A and B are shown apart, each in its own frame.
Chain A
C-alpha cells in the first residue's frame, strides 16, 4: 500500500483568509497526480468523514497545471479567535499525509 506522502512533493495547509482553510497536495509527477485524482481517493466524502465536517462544506479541485489537488473548507474557529489552535492554519494537513492510495 502506498501512502499519499510518497507520491507528493508537498502536502500543506494554510488560511485562505481568516475564515477558510485550504489544503494543497502537489504531486511529484503527472502519473502520481492522475493516479490519485482518477482513483477518487481525495473526495469530498473522505475529507468530510476524516475531518468530521459536513460534506457539502468541502470543495475539492483538481488543478492540472501544477499536478495538484486543492481542498478548501470553512474554519471551525476564525484565525486567532478565542479557541483557535492554529493561527496560520499550517498544521491541519496531518491526516492527509498517511492516506492510503490503492495500488
Chain B
C-alpha cells in the first residue's frame, strides 16, 4: 500500500465540473471522490437563513455524476459543508437530493449523514466551563449570543468521517466541515503520513483552483504517498506549475505557512514544489504538528434585521461639490421626518446607512482616495426589526432625498435620479456572523451526530 489517489470533483458542489474531466479522472483509479459544498465566503445569509448559494438543480447535476462514478467504481463519495452553511436543514436538503438520485438511477448504498449543527445547551455548558475560546478579531460571546443565533455549526474534523467509513458508509454527506477534512479522512484512516495528506487536502479542496489559469470550475487529482504527493489536473486544457500550487496556500488563509485543523497544524515552511511534467507538480517537505488540545471551530449567524433600499444617482455639480454636507443634511432631515411620523422612540429601532458609489462604496473607511467624478451613485439603506417598518421608513427617506436642497438654488429641486418606481426596494432578512470561536470537546465525535440510512 504505497499510494492513495484522490479525486476532488470541484471546488464547491453546484459550481460544476466537466463530465469529460470526471471520466478521465475515474480512469486513473481514485480511492474516493470528494467535494466541498460550503463556505462562509458568500456572507452570513446562508448560515443565518438555511438557504443555499447554489440551486438544487445545480447541486443535483454535480452530485448525480459523482454518485454514478463512485458507485460504478465501488469507491466512497464524500461531500462536506452541505448547502453552503452546513446546517441541519441544508444537510437534509442535500440528503433529499441524494435520495432522489438513488431512486432515479437505481443506486444502492449506505448513506451517512454527519450533523454539524450545535445544541444551544451544550454550547452554554461549554461556555460556562471556559471551554469556548475566541479566535482573532472575535466578537464578544455570552449566553445571549448563543440564544439569539439562528444557527450555530461546528466545523468537523476527519474523525466523524472516519467513524462513518468504519461503519460501512459508502456515501457521506456532512454538515459544516473543515474543507480539508473531506479529503484527509480516508487517507489518514488508512495510515498515510498526515503531513503529505493534509497538504494534499489543502491543495485539493478548491478543485481546479490551483491550476495556472482557471477558466471554469473543474476536477483536480492527487496521488499521495508518505513522502510526497503529485497533483495533476485531469482536464488536458489545464496545467499546474510549482508556483500555481504553492500560491494556493495563500488563498483565503491569513498565513501561507500554517493551516489550523481540529487535530493539529499543517506547517508548509519546509515544503518543496517541483515540476514532474508540463502539467504535474510534486510537493514534499511539509510537517503536521498534532494539537495539544483538540478544538472545533464554531460559526454562528443571527438576524440583524430587515432592509429596504433606495438607490439613486446624483449629477448636479453644485450638489457634488458639497456632497458630504448634502448627505448629512438629508440624513438629518429624514431622521426628523421619521421621528415626526413614528414618535421620538423610533430612533433606537432603525439604522440608516448611506453608501456613495463613485467614492468609497467598495472600501468604506479603508479608502484612501477622496476625489469623485462627474456623478455618484447613492445607496440609502434602512435596517429595522421588520420588513414593514423598514419599508415605511425608506418611503420617508426617499421622499426627503429626492427634493433635498443646496443653498445655491432657490425653489424646489429634484436632486437625485431614481432608476425605479417605486424607489424603495425590499431586500428581506439580513444576518450577521456572530462567532469566531473554538470549543474544546471531550472527544472529536461528541459534537457530531451521525445517522445511517441504507438506500436501495
Contacts and interface: CB of A to CB of B under 8 A. Distances in A.
B368 interface: yes
A63 B26 CA distance: 35
B305 interface: yes
Contacts of A88: 41-43
B246 A18 contact: no
A79 B363 contact: no
Contacts of B430: 80, 82
A66 B256 CA distance: 10
B433 A78 contact: yes
B363 A68 contact: no
Nearest to B251: A14
B36 to A, nearest CB: 15
Interface residues of A, number: 43
Contacts of B271: 65
A6 interface: no
A82 B383 contact: yes
A10 B164 CA distance: 41
B339 interface: no
B255 interface: yes
A72 B250 CA distance: 11
B278 interface: no
Interface string B46-69: 000000000000000000000000
B337 interface: no
Contact of A66 (B43, B247, B368, B383): B247
Contacts of B363: 85-86, 91-92, 94
A80 B44 contact: yes
A4 to B, nearest CB: 15
A26 B436 contact: no
A80 B368 contact: no
Given A17-B40, A79-B43, A82-B353, A92 B362 contact: yes
Interface in A5-64: 10, 14-20, 22, 24, 26, 50-53, 59, 61, 63
Contact of B432 (A82, A86, A91, A92): A82
Contacts of A75: 137
Interface string B131-166: 000011111000000000000000000000000000
B448 interface: no
Contacts of B256: 61, 63, 65-66, 68, 70
Contact of A26 (B247, B268, B381): B247
Contacts of A70: 250, 255-256
Pick the most buried of B42, B243, B249: most chain A CB atoms within 10 A of its CB: B243
A16 B137 contact: no
Contact of B304 (A51, A52, A72, A81): A81
Contacts of A102: none
B433 A18 contact: yes
A19 B361 CA distance: 19
Contact of A68 (B41, B247, B304, B436): B247
Interface in A65-103: 65-68, 70, 72, 74-88, 91-92, 94-95
B277 interface: no
B45 A16 contact: no
Given A26-B250, A70-B255, A85 B362 contact: yes
Nearest to B271: A65
B452 interface: no
A40 to B, nearest CB: 19
Contact of B366 (A59, A66, A92): A92
A51 B41 contact: no
A84 to B, nearest CB: 8
A87 B273 CA distance: 33
Given A17-B436, A19-B137, A79 B44 contact: yes
Contacts of B136: 19-20, 74
Contacts of A86: 362-363
Contact of A50 (B353, B355, B368): B368
Contacts of A16: 252-254
B373 interface: no
7 contacts: A14-B252, A19-B136, A19-B433, A65-B273, A79-B433, A80-B431, A86-B363
Closest 9 CB pairs of A and B: A80-B43, A66-B246, A65-B246, A19-B137, A87-B43, A18-B433, A66-B247, A81-B432, A91-B362
Interface of A: 10, 14-20, 22, 24, 26, 50-53, 59, 61, 63, 65-68, 70, 72, 74-88, 91-92, 94-95
Given A65-B246, A88-B42, 9 more contacts: A14-B252, A17-B40, A50-B368, A66-B246, A68-B247, A79-B40, A80-B430, A82-B432, A87-B43
